[in-house]
Every structure is written in C-alpha cells, then in structure tokens.
Amino acid sequence: MDFGQFLNQRILGNRVENILWCVGILLFGFLLKRIASLLISRLLFRLVKKESENLPVNDFMILLRRPVEMLITLIFLYTAFSFLRFPPGWNMAPRGQFGLRMVMLRLYQVMMIFTITWIVMRFVDFFAMVFTRRAELNESALAIQLIPFTREVAKVFIVLCSTFIVLGVIFNLDVGSIVAGLGIGGLAVALAGKESLENLFASFTIFLDRPFTVGEIVQVGGLSGKVEKVGFRSTRIRTLDKSTLTIPNKMLIDQPLDNLTQRRFRRANMQICLTYETPIPVMQTISEEVRLAISGKELTKSEPAVVHFTDFGESSLNITVIYFVETADWMEFTKVREEINYRIIEIVNQNGARFAFPTRTVHVEEIERTFLVCDKE
C-alpha cells in the first residue's frame, strides 16, 4: 500500500488525509495561539496608540491576551473540524433541524459572540485606564469618580446588545416582542429589585449633587473613611483601620453625611482637671498660659482658643479648653494636639498645681454608745 492509498482510506466515514489535516491544524493552533495573540494585540494597539497617553503596550496586551487567545482557538477549531464529516450511518439531523449538528453550531456561535464581547469589554477597560491617567494628570476629582461608573454602564450596555444579538441572530427570536414583554413585566421586576433600583438612582444623585468625590474622607452613620469607588449599587470606603467598607448608595443620601475633607478646621475639645486645693490665682495663670500656648501655634492662631474655668467636678476643678486646628489631615491634627498636650503638662507642673484623679473622702462620725449592764441576781 502506497502513501496515497493510505491517505484515501476512510475512518468513520472520513478520509485519513482529512483527519490528519484536522489534527495538524489543532496542534498548530494550540502551539502558536500565544504568539498569534501577541501579534494581533500589537496590531490592535497601533489603532489606539495615539489615545494611549503613553500607556505601556504591555498593559494593553495583558488585557487582550486571554480573549484573543480564545478567539484564535475558536477559529482553529472551526477550521480543523470543517475537514471532517459525521458518518452517514449515524443518521444525523441536518443543521436546520434540532439535533446534535444544530446544538454544536449554536454553541459555537454563542462562544464566538461571547469572545468578541469579551474583547470589546477589554477595550472599554483600556480606554478607562487612559482616561483615568488623563484625569490624574489634570487632577480632576470628578472625572476620576465618573470614569469607573461610566465603564460599568458601558459594559452593561455591551452585554445587553450581545444578548439581543444571540437571541435574534442565533436563536431567531423576535427581539421586538421580547423588549415589549420586558415592558409588561417591568413592574414585577421593579418590585422584585426595589432596593437595587433605589441604590441605582441614588448613585445618579451622588454624581449630580456631588456631596463627595473619590479620594475624599467622609463620615456617615458613625462610619468614616476614604472613598475609593462609587458603583451602581454601593460605594466602597477604606476605613482608618485599612479595612474595606461597602455602603449602599441609598444609605449615603438618606443619612446626614459629613465630608471631612472639605472642612478647613478640626476641633479639639478637652478639660484640664485640677485638684480642689489649687488656688484661684494659679488657675487663672494656668488658663492664660494655655491660651497663649495655643495661639502661638501656626495652625491654631487663626481662631481664638476658648480656655475657661467651667465646672466643679466630683473630685476636680475643670478648665475647658476648645481650639481649632487649620487642617483637614487627621495625622497633622493629631500631631498638633499632642504638642499642645505636652505643653499643658509643663504649664501645670511649672505653676505647682496637680492634676486631679477620681477620689472620695469619707468622714466617719464616731458615736459614743452607753451600754447598760444589768446585773441579774
């Protein structure tokens, strides 16, 4: 048997030559899909190079590598198996009738649309990176906050379009009727997803009203932290403990929200508790020196400090101290407050006074009792 006769032999209704072509194309595709993916990604990068804002090509290739590899794999699979035919003895239904042929073809078409959608969504991610880089250079807080939200909206729109394409082109369904049906069932969907819709509308309110932007520190409902992302349903906040806190958007607009970044001052409120043995002139001197020490600081001199003897405590004479530090940075505020606290300790010690601590004096009154002793006879 010569080589030509070997190639013309049939296995399950297919010539050996066709089977070899199928196996060869599959091997070639699986071996070279990584290289082909890199080449295609570089070619696609040239199309968007002008808009890349000097973004490294590696970032673009990392985004596209997996979906492009998937696309190449599907193309090689279709090309390889196009050389083969189902054995006639299997009596397979044609493509137009329901059966294995139709299921495999529809599955392949769905995978192709899914892969193309994946690639388009990666392009959306890339352009989001480009615009984020541009917003950071221009220091535009609103753009930095709006870009992630717009990216998510674009992805939802792309997924919906792909879904309608699958239903209309592959499964031959009437997309217009489906959309009309969504209008009929819209009320039920709205009632089922009432909280999700409320959070979605709340996100639009946040973007329009702009009570805060990404990167600012806010306090809401006793919780505070730095805003990292505003999404469809929730806002992600990084707390002072470095943990990630996810708050529903509806909660942010329904409760009083304090934007700590936008305030110019931080207030310090404390009491100096002195013993009851402290003379009045000493207390007056301490109050005046504390007031001068606070006003001598660069960040506390813009607002006059309040230093007054205000309370008779259970075990102390209390001097209330209120002052403002002209900074929004919590760490800087803490540092200034620490320096003032050290200075207060020095002032109290220099004036011979003592800090009070909770004490109680118990006066016991001794009562003489006369015991009558009765002698019993």
Four-way CATH pick for 266-350: 1.10.600.10, 3.30.70.100, 3.40.50.720, 3.90.79.10: 3.30.70.100
pLDDT for the residue 187 = 46
pLDDT for the residue 306 = 93
| Spans of the chain below 50 pLDDT | 184, 187-188, 190-191, 368-377
DSSP helix/strand/coil, 244: strand
Locate CATH 2.30.30.60 in the chain: 194-259
- Tokens for 97? 């009738």
Locate CATH 3.30.70.100 in the chain: 266-350
pLDDT for the residue 20 = 86
pLDDT for the residue 357 = 82
CB-based contacts of 320, cutoff 8 Å, min separation 6:
269, 270, 271, 306, 307, 308, 309, 310, 311
CATH code, 194-259: 2.30.30.60
pLDDT for the residue 275 = 92
> CA–CA separation, 221 vs 94, rounded Å?
64
Question: Which tens digits make up the pLDDT trace of 44-100?
Answer: 777 777 666 666 677 788 888 889 889 998 998 888 888 878 776 666 667 667 777
CB-based contacts of 234, cutoff 8 Å, min separation 6:
199, 246, 247, 248, 249
Q: What is the pTM of this model?
A: 0.60
Q: Are 285 and 258 in contact (CB under 8 A)?
A: no
Q: Are 16 and 9 in contact (CB under 8 A)?
A: yes
